Amino acid sequence: MDQFIEWISQPWPWYVAGPMIGLTVPALLIVGNKTFGISSSLRHICAACVPAGIPFFTYNWKKEVWNLLFVLGVAIGGFLATNFLANPNTIVISEATQTDLAALGITNFSDLMPSDIFSWETIFTAKGLLFFVFGGFLVGFGTRYAGGCTSGHAIMGISSLQWQSVVATIFFMIGGFFMTHMLLGPLMKLVGF
């Protein structure tokens, strides 16, 4: 059992993890004619919990319970992986990336997410307001505006040959590059890094 835990807690190579994620799409389509995506689950939760007669939330959300169970499984899997299967080794980040992040004031690379930004201590600061509240709003707005999240478009949409998903994924990438190379430095200085 210890060998299994040791094996499963190691990072999996791209040529194993990538096809496993990619094969989720045809498996969902073949098994139940379902589409892969996470962001739609928020709509299902709102339709189930707040039936206020809002037209956007007025539909048979019970047909989508499988999606809510999928998201619950993702959350449980993340919890189990973080608390019981965490790789004790330091995360491997290229020297160039470490140098670029250090120039922005991010120096702790031992966690999956830099604790210099993502920690309980920073939630109620200007930094937390910018990254968690404003950033979360932008992600939510963009997801709704694009008709799906990055995983839904890039994994499901492209593999089912939807040109809208190709366009959305291209713009997700452009936005990410623009944020990283043009806006991140000034924003970090603005919030005191």
What string of DSSP letters covers 123-168? TTSHHHIIIIIIHHHHHHHHHHHHTS-HHIIIIIIHHTT-HHHHHH
User: Domain span at residue 159?
Assistant: 94-193
Give the residue from 46, 67, 89 where a domain finishes: 89
The model scores a pTM over 0.85: no
The answer on pLDDT for 113 being more than 80 is no
Q: What is the pLDDT of residues 69-90, one digit of tens each?
A: 988 998 998 898 888 877 677 7
User: Residue 105: how many CB atoms within 10 A of its CB?
Assistant: 15
CA distance 186 to 173: 20
Same domain (yes/no): 22, 102: no
Q: What is the DSSP string of 170-190?
A: HHHHHHHHHIIIIIHHHHHHH
Same domain (yes/no): 67, 147: no
Same domain (yes/no): 73, 156: no
130-139: Cβ within 8 A, 24+ apart: 130/187, 130/190, 130/191
Same domain (yes/no): 65, 116: no
Count how many domains the chain has.
2
At residue 111 the predicted structure's pLDDT band, cuts being 50, 70 and 90, is low
pLDDT on residue 178: 93
Q: What is the pLDDT of residues 121-139, one digit of tens each?
A: 877 887 778 778 888 888 8
The structure tokens listed for 25 are 């799409």
Same domain (yes/no): 84, 132: no
Give the residue from 89, 117, 132 where a domain finishes: 89
Give the residue from 69, 89, 109 where a domain finishes: 89
